[in-house]
């Protein structure tokens, strides 16, 4: 394909140079800097730049608040991701066939996804208010008595609150992607299967799923990565509270860096996060068959 096009010698490099320069400056340089700093012991009181090697990394293992924050992050991911996927898939099926006004419905359903996550969190904070918010009011109608649930304060209710907000915001994203994927599935195959008397589940498992899998896998990967670094929604709803009950890994790293000024330790946390993400990504990409 390239054989017929002979680039003026350096033209192709000029095209990529600015992009690569920016990526190095904003992406790679801070990362390397971070790596070096993570081997030192710099904090607010102490700017000594001598190397302490793995001191911070050893501390990581003893830091139970860190592992709890990791567990909180995984909990949110493990619950929210399947819900978003299944609900998004069900919604995609609902709107797969033509129906008058379909486009209007789709446009309205996409609204939550295009709102800033911080605003989504703020909105749900208002909705969840125990006294002036509508959610307790609506629950009260069903319960037949006034409900006074402290959604963003009560330790047993904060996770449902966060996950509700998260699912509300991102299910439409899954829905849009899966709707596009389902629309591309070869109709004649699914119809043939139906005529042969195949049940919906079997048709889905053996015809539809293989067809939409490449798209679905990437959607899962994108959402999974985003969920792993969830910050805005939790920040707006609870700021990691009550106490440190809903502190995610991103919030913990932020607090260590910008509230406690543990420069070196924060760098070590950042590397733990990068390491985990890299491992998960490589595993997922291999496992999902995304690379040929």
Scan residues 12-51 and list those touching another protein (CB under 8 A). 12-13, 15-16, 18-20, 22-23, 25-27, 29-31, 33-34, 37
Contacts (Cβ under 8 Å, ≥6 apart) of 33: none
Positions 224 through 283 that interact with another protein (CB under 8 A): 225, 228-229, 231-232, 235-236, 239, 249-250, 253-254, 257-258, 263, 266-267, 270-271, 273-274, 277-278, 281
Structure tokens at 283: 């595993």
Q: Which of 39, 55, 83, 112 binds another protein (CB under 8 A)?
A: 112
State the minimum distance, in angstroms, from the CB of residue 115 to another protein.
Answer: 6
State the minimum distance, in angstroms, from the CB of residue 189 to another protein.
Answer: 18
- Mask for 126-155, x = binds another protein (CB under 8 A): xx-x-xxxx--x------------------
Structure tokens at 54: 């793995």
Element (H, E) at 71: helix 64-94
Q: Which residue has the tokens 């998004």?
A: 88
Positions 153 through 182 that interact with another protein (CB under 8 A): 168, 171-173, 176-177, 179-181
Could you say whether residue 82 binds another protein (CB under 8 A)?
no
Could you say whether residue 111 binds another protein (CB under 8 A)?
yes
Q: Which of 71, 118, 143, 192 binds another protein (CB under 8 A)?
A: 118
Contacts (Cβ under 8 Å, ≥6 apart) of 111: 172
**Binding window for another protein (CB under 8 A); candidates: 46-54, 57-65, 115-123, 195-203:** 115-123
State the minimum distance, in angstroms, from the CB of residue 205 to another protein.
Answer: 21
C-alpha–C-alpha distance, residues 86 and 167, integer Å: 11
C-alpha–C-alpha distance, residues 170 and 79, integer Å: 13
Contacts (Cβ under 8 Å, ≥6 apart) of 35: 267, 271
Nearest CA to 79 among 134, 188, 159, 197?
Answer: 159
- Mask for 191-230, x = binds another protein (CB under 8 A): -----------------------xx--xx--x--x--xx-
Q: Which of 91, 163, 208, 234 binds another protein (CB under 8 A)?
A: 91
Could you say whether residue 289 binds another protein (CB under 8 A)?
no
Could you say whether residue 57 binds another protein (CB under 8 A)?
no
Paired strand residues for 40: 51
Long-range contacts of 253-260 (CB under 8 A, 24+ apart): 260/43, 260/44
Question: How many residues in total does the chain contain?
Answer: 292
């Amino acid at each position: 394909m390239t054989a017929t096009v002979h680039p003026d010698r350096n033209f192709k490099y000029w095209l990529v140079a600015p992009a690569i320069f920016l990526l190095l400056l904003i992406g790679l340089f801070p990362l390397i800097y971070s790596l070096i700093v993570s081997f030192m012991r710099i904090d607010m009181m102490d700017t000594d730049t001598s190397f302490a090697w793995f001191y911070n990394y050893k501390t990581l293992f003893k830091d139970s608040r860190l592992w709890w924050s990791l567990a909180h992050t995984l909990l949110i991911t493990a619950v929210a991701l399947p819900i978003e996927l299944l609900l998004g898939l069900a919604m995609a099926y609902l709107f797969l066939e033509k129906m008058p006004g379909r486009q209007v419905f789709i446009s309205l359903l996409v609204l939550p996804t295009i709102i800033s996550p911080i605003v989504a969190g703020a909105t749900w904070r208002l909705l969840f208010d125990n006294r002036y918010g509508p959610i307790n009011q609506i629950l009260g109608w069903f319960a037949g008595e006034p409900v006074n649930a402290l959604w963003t304060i009560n330790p047993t209710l904060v996770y449902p609150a966060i996950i509700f907000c998260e699912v509300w915001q991102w299910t439409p994203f899954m829905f849009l992607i899966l709707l596009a994927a389902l629309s591309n599935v070869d109709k004649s195959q699914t119809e043939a299967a139906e005529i042969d008397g195949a049940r919906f589940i079997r048709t889905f498992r053996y015809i539809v799923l293989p067809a939409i899998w490449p798209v679905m896998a990437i959607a899962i990967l994108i959402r999974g990565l985003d969920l792993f670094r969830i910050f805005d929604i939790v920040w707006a709803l609870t700021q990691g509270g009550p106490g440190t009950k809903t502190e995610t890994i991103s919030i913990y790293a932020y607090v260590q860096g910008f509230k406690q000024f543990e420069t070196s330790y924060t760098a070590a946390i950042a590397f733990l996060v990068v390491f985990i993400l890299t491992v998960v990504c490589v595993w997922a990409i291999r496992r999902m068959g995304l690379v040929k």
